[in-house]
Structure 1
């Protein structure tokens, strides 16, 4: 059996006045075994699909060899949904971020098998990617599907959707760009809605100003389909940058 090790990571960010602040990350590293196939996929596929923080601000046209709408997904898990979206929208380009290496290996395996070429991958912290690699006003969409809800009240501060995060995403989206979130935990959906309703520069795309029906472009995962059979709900939120 693989051994899972969880620990909290603390990072330093700089304020506008260059004063370092400690920030609590919204994830823990789970060190599980990678399959041989996942390791091999990373070894053979990283030159084509991999991105590094050291590259600095990304030039999408240089990376994808064309000019196309760009979608960034934070936390793609094992990559099935991201691969499906990219396969179904070949006219768009996709960048995925995932901290867990087995998930990165699984995604690259799928991309290689299906010969999908419009995806690139980071294996690191999404906040570092946003701050160091993504230019302001450059993304058409940002996706955050089923992030860790951190159920316990004392852990709510670890939830990634916070006012500061909403402001950061707004900077990275183009005017008119979409921030799409989904969760299967209703209290977290309510938390997301509260944060985004108070965030400046956004408009809720839901007709009743709450949640949108599941958009067709978001694939249903096996986990989600099982939850639906058991009567579990899923909440989608879509906010558009308007200023």
Structure 2
């Protein structure tokens, strides 16, 4: 038997985040230990700590215990938007995707306090969740609210919304499913619109330059921060094109 250390494996493409080990409070540590068994999806990893092993697709009925519409939020942060949505729509199932453990712990604490039971969390790279964990055409809506804009030119290759992302988003969404996006960075908003306008997999769900603000999006710290800085909030809405 060889005792050689295996070669480290890395993703072929840069991801849209830099994962830092932020300090968790005592309450967040307790939440991780006590609440994760209910809220957090156990997933099989591939090359990286936040990866998803291809072929490890979940069964939605097994996870949520019912058949219901599924809404997925990418980059759920502290969970304010998705916990509020799950509280407001108990007839719908929700999945929060986030890579930062402290944010996931806060989401679980808030969900537990509010008695939310239709929410699950995935600690993973979002495109891999859409491609490998969710069954094809299983989500009715996909939310991308205030993703990291990577506003320095040398970093824009890390932005989430690309033609490749459009393909995996359409793969996860049901026919006629909705992709909702919002950002306070004009340059990124225009890039998103260019990418999705060019995709044959999506069609616009709005007229004019921008969509109306999605009234199902609770006002979060990110949106307040952008508004205080004088940046316009840009919403976009797309539907999966007929297949």
Query: Which TM-score applies when normalising by structure 2?
Result: 0.88
Does structure 1 conserve the Cα–Cα contact (< 8 Å) formed by 2:61 and 2:67? yes
Partner residue of 1:179?
179
- Partner of residue 232, structure 1: 231
SS of the residue corresponding to residue 15 of structure 2 reads: strand
**What residue is the counterpart of 1:136 in the other structure?**
136
Compare the two structures and name the one with the higher strand fraction. Answer: 1
State TM-score, norm by structure 1: 0.88
Counterpart Cα distance in 1 of 2:179 and 2:155: 24
Instruction: Tell me whether 56-65 or 74-83 shows the greater mean CA deviation.
Output: 56-65
- Structure 2 spans left out of the alignment, 5+ residues: 1-8, 45-54
For each residue in 1:58-93, what CA deviation from the matched residue of structure 2 results, as whole angstroms up to 9, or x when unmatched? Answer: 211221111110011111011111101111111110
Q: Do residues 197 (structure 1) and 197 (structure 2) align? A: yes
* Whole-angstrom CA distance in 2 between matches of 1:121 and 1:39: 16
**Measured at CA, do residues 227 and 163 of structure 1 come closer, stay the same or move farther in structure 2, by a change above 3 Å?**
closer
The question of 1:101 aligning with 2:107 is answered no
Map 1:211-226 onto structure 2 (within 5 A).
211-226=210-225
Residue pair 1:11, 1:25 contacting (<8 A) in 2 also:
no
Matched, 1:168 2:173: no
Give the corresponding residue for 1:76. Answer: 76
Runs of 4+ in 1 over 6 A off after TM superposition: none
Q: Which moved more, 1:230-239 or 1:166-175?
A: 230-239
Equivalents in 2 of 1:11, 1:203: separation in Å? Answer: 34
Query: Residue 121 of structure 1: CA displacement?
Result: 0.4
SS at match of 1:90: coil
Shift of 1:229: 4.8
Task: Please give the secondary structure, in 2, of the residue aligned with 1:77.
Answer: coil
